[in-house]
Structure 1
């Protein structure tokens, strides 16, 4: 986050286990952000402090009716679904890259074994 969180700011959690457990929940910062090396903040209703890197500040409009509240909740849920979909895409790309890396490692191991076998053969022939 570029700007530090302040007491009273409204935030949502993202890309962590707590975000999945609290999907759609808007939290209120109980105090200002602290700890410059590993920024964190206390949230109202959350036990302990929370890493700022997993928080996104949100602008919460003034809710005048239950319908406004319902619409705002639906909007936030949609944003979270979109964010989760993007994270799934990145995870899938990472899994593909990992599979390719594993295949390349296996191929390298096969080539190494072939080279060792050739080396043994050459040494055996040279020893005759």
Structure 2
């Protein structure tokens, strides 16, 4: 995962929230280790987000909700 990649959240609490459901995010940092989890910064999201809950969006996929 690298800056500029497009991702959606999946398999986490945030992914089920109406506010974030199907939202396409842009990665804005390189991954780093935070307390044993690999995290990245997302544009428009405060704080690091675990990469294990992010799914890359293929070219052409749009925001779902």
> What TM bracket, shorter-length normalisation?
0.7 to 0.9
Moved beyond 3 Å, runs of 4+: none
| One of 27, 30, 45 as aligned partner of 1:29 | 27
- Give how far 1:35 is off: 1.6
Cα distance in 2 for partners of 1:15, 1:33 equals: 19
Count of aligned residue pairs for this structure pair: 62
Alignment of 1:63-102 (within 5 A): 72-73=62-63, 76=64
Cα distance in 2 for partners of 1:60, 1:46 equals: 22
- Unaligned 5+ segments in structure 2 are none
Larger Rg: 1
- Give how far 1:11 is off: 0.4
Cα distance in 1 for partners of 2:55, 2:41 equals: 14
| One of 4, 10, 16 as aligned partner of 2:6 | 10
TM-score (norm. length: structure 2): 0.80
Flag the structure with higher strand content. Answer: 2
- Unaligned 5+ segments in structure 1 are 62-68, 78-128
| One of 7, 19, 38 as aligned partner of 2:15 | 19
What's the secondary structure of 1:47's corresponding residue?
coil
